[in-house]
Structure 1
Amino acid sequence: MTAPLLLGSLLNPLNTTMISTALVAIGHDFGIGAARTVWLVSILYLASAVAQPVLGRLADSIGPRRVFLAGLVVVAASGLVGVLAPGFGWLIASRLLLGVGTSAAYPAAMAVLRAESRRLGRPTPRTVLGRLSFAALGSAAVGPTLGGLLVGTWGWRAIFAVNVPLALIAFGCAVAWIPKDDHAAAPSEPAGLDPLGIVLFSGALTGLVFFLLGLAHPAWWLLIPVAALSAVLTWWQLRCPRPFIDLRMLGRNHALARTYLRHGLAYLVIYCVMYGFTQWLEEGRGFSSLHTGLLMLPMSVTALVCSLLGARTKGIRAPLSIAAVLLTAGSAVLLFASGATPLAVLLLAGACFGIPQGLIGTSNQAAVYQHAPADAVGSAAGLQRTAQYLGAITASSLIGLAYGQRADDGGLHLMAAVSIVLGLVLVALTVSDRALRARNRK
């Protein structure tokens, strides 16, 4: 049963990072700079940030297997659109579809595991959750290396093509091994999806993304509709019987809210490196896509190893604290990186970011599973990914502001300085969290 869940869950994080070593090649082919190619990153995160909690709610209401299979069909379609894309706009459309399709797997997988746990009458083992986290984190970690190999061997279109066979294999495994949903949705259930809340959230988030991506020349007027939509969204969520985002629950469940905050901040720093560092290696240091992917290998390997170690760790606070410290230290290394920096130092910096990737995802996933309401684990898992993608969207905006048309030393140092400040904030949030300390005493 877990095999298709693992395969489906790796598609979204794999595609979020695999594109990093293809951005320069895509930009050269279409004659555009980093400020525009970053939209290939942002559009997937924007789609995923909205789709994850929506599809998580669908998994809770109409059945996770249905949602899981439908998402894989959309993934395969997105791969075909990307392979055949005649222009940059078609690539944007492909990534939009990819964001929606891949968003089904993780919340549906969490809902399947919770349903199986209820059937067996015992909680889901931490090792099973660890495998799910390993699939997601491992695929995100190896994404730059795999992307570099694909681009260097077959060109950047291979980044999109690889999704077709992966989606088809996952679909076949899911049909064979995931238990059928044990109930059919009642006609009234779709109303519980809160379409107005989804529209308001999507509008506010889209406006915010457009503002962030234009920080070089800020369109301040965009903040007016963003603020208005956010206010109406808050008002509606507090009054809706089944809100899209349960603000009352989050207001009572401080531990879950802090988990979302930690997760978003951590991935803001991680994705600044994932995209900003790789572009700098290619344009600032002159490495090829293949060599850049190989240089990111230490980060990939350490992330894989640490995700396994994190799954075997009983506590949550210790691994999260270690991760926050290493994110700060790695950012400090990049603050002094230049064209003359020894290769060994660059490899060390990559490893400093690989360890947190492995520890943060596993530990925060365990925290969400522990603190989320039992009947809403799918939507809670979706909101965790939404927090992650909000961090990633902010990271891509910072990259566009720092680099402009070319990735240079000055832009890298700006991102590193911001990442140091965020890393210190993350350390403080983790160390001071009483819920994490209480968890360690159990």
Structure 2
Amino acid sequence: MPNPEYLDHPLRGALAAELHARPFLKLAESVSLIHYAVFAEHKPWLHEALLQRLCRDAKIPDPAEGATHYSVQSPCGWHLKWERHAEFSTFTFVSPRSDKELFDDVAIQGIPANWFAQLAGSRFVASRMELLAGEAARVARGAIRHWIDGPILVGSNVLGGGQAFCDWCVRPDGFTRFLVLDDGFREEQGGRLLQRLYEIETYRMMALLALPVARQMSHELDEIHMSLQALMQGMDAEGAEGDDSQLLVKLTHLAVRVESLAGSGARFSASRAYEKLVLARIHELREERIEGMPTIQEFMERRFAPAMDTCRSVWARHEVLAARIARAVDLLRTRVNLAQERDVTRLLGGMERTARNQLHLQHAVEGLSVAAISYYVLSLVAAAFKALHVLSLPIQPELAEGLAIGPVVMAVIVITRRTRSRLLKRSAGTETNDIHPLKQPI
């Protein structure tokens, strides 16, 4: 049997392992969880640097080079789960909970303050989560508002065996809070639930990155729209054809402005992808209503969905405006082409009239040339007749000269026409040889 590694495609192992790359947390007791999402758009090296610094400070093994996920137990008692995504990375710290205090720093004990200082300006999500079971869950159920005191309490029965509560508010300590009560979760359901909750929060924030871009783009689109309307009205005004070149330059400038906004397309595309992940994670919760409070899905439909609709509408408006400008440019270019064709037609008409006048002038010149040549020939003939008369020949010079006028004029006309015809044939032959160089005689 050949070596399996010899038979396999180089990517088979990595792609097959991708299904198991990010396993759920395995939790069978009350735990405290702290989750960070780090977004460093202009510092892509920061994600790995933070992980390496944390491993060094907490005296835990370093991950494999190029790893995109890492899970390890620290000597301080907390468990670390690190994941590297396309735009961000996440640090999730989990520690067992045995006391009655909630939402404290038990999950990050032993981590130096210097490590947190490196998160300055890059901490995009910070969440505290508590998973309580047994007696701790019963006590906490009677004091939900003590721990989660935001203006709107959101909660529901989830996964058929527990309850989840939150208020989606960032508290003075910089964290959002989630309280999960275990009423009989099956194996690993608690870990899956916590992961889904912090993924909802993380993907929600990443999706909302497009909202400031959409608001700024909306103002720019308003200005471009107004400019386009003014230009279109100018195109439709009487006597505006003389300004077509200037209008085309202005429309081209608007097209450049709209195209420059297309650079935000990647942000809007990513936002749509994150929105789908948020909705998928909410669907996986299998929520059931708790009387008197909205579910997570209802809260997101009222607060999160309008922001995503705004992003979609702004991007759709951008595409419509870009298409309108493209059509306006095509229309104006067509009108410019028609104006150019009219100018060319007038120019050709003028050239035709000039050629016709030149032909008439040429005919007139030819007539004068015949008369002049005939005059000089008749002068020579008259001199010859006079010489013959002096030699006593019976010739009357005046009579002979008068009789020679007709034949001389006819002869000059014939010779002139033959000469012109010969020149025209020679000229036509030269043009034919220029057009068909392969037909020239060797």
TM bucket by the smaller chain?
under 0.3
Larger Rg over CA atoms: 2
Pick the structure with more helix per residue. Answer: 1
| Structure number with higher relative contact order (C-alpha < 8 Å, ≥ 6 residues apart) | 1
> Greater share of strand residues, 1 or 2?
2
**Given the two structures, how large is their TM-score scaled by the length of structure 2?**
0.21
Q: TM-score, length-normalised on structure 1? A: 0.21
